[in-house]
Chain A
Amino acid sequence: MATSVYLSSPGLEINNVDLTDQCTAASITYTVEALENTAFGSTARTYTAGLANNSITVTLYQSYAATETEASIYALVGTTTTIELSPTVAGLTTPSATSPKYTLTGAYLESHTPINASLGELSTIDLTFTGGTLTKATS
């Protein structure tokens, strides 16, 4: 049986802005907090679903050119926005079962590093968007 693998090349939009060509890493953490409801008489710990606590982390090349990374991100600190991620760029506009689009709505950006420079290296920034509602679209 052939093995299916995936060469990472996702599409990314932050606040409607397509930053795919500046992105080098992206991950979604889909979490529903576990609330323990074990009681006397139980023989093993048991849990029930609590609140969702989702996050998206991305790494972007920094650019100070007009309408690039810095211009797109700076004003988002301390606010909420929407992030869209798909395994492929095409999935952003036409999601499918094999290329779903994940949308985190109402995600909060707590911090940003406007300058993150090291000698001899391309500058990158790491952003973590937390909270919000995660949905998965396949059509």
Chain B
Amino acid sequence: MYVIVSPRLGTPGDKFEPVEGTNIDALLSAGLISTDKPKKSSKVKAEPEQE
């Protein structure tokens, strides 16, 4: 899955759905799209309770 980076391809952050024959490598190398990476959980380590 690819994600739009450049507004020239659509809304940044949206899933990129290429038309037939699209050169994905060229888009990736130009930074116009990116590969989707699973988001890491935003758990924050709780501070130890003070007594």
**Contacts from A to B (Cβ < 8 Å):** 15-19, 66-67, 71-72, 74-76, 79-82, 84, 103, 105-106, 132
> How far apart are the CA atoms of A74 and B29 in the complex, in Å?
10
Residues of B near A19 (CB, < 8 A) are 8
> How far apart are the CA atoms of A127 and B42 in the complex, in Å?
47
List 28 contacting pairs A-B, 8 Å CB cutoff, sorted by A. Answer: A15-B22, A16-B9, A16-B16, A16-B22, A17-B8, A17-B32, A67-B5, A67-B7, A71-B30, A71-B32, A72-B30, A74-B30, A75-B25, A75-B29, A75-B30, A76-B26, A79-B25, A79-B26, A80-B21, A80-B23, A81-B26, A82-B19, A82-B21, A82-B22, A84-B19, A105-B20, A106-B21, A132-B21
Interface of A, helix, strand, loop or mixed by DSSP: mixed
Tell me the B18-43 residues at the A interface (CB within 8 Å).
Answer: 18-23, 25-27, 29-32
User: Interface range on chain B: under 10, 10 to 19, 20 to 34, or 35 or more?
Assistant: 10 to 19
Shortest A83–chain B CB gap in Å is 9
Closest to B17 in A: A16
Shortest A4–chain B CB gap in Å is 30
**Contacts from B to A (Cβ < 8 Å):** 5-9, 16, 18-23, 25-27, 29-32
- Taking a contact as CB atoms closer than 8 A, the residue among A67, A81, A105, A132 that contacts B32 in the complex is A67
> How far apart are the CA atoms of A17 and B9 in the complex, in Å?
5
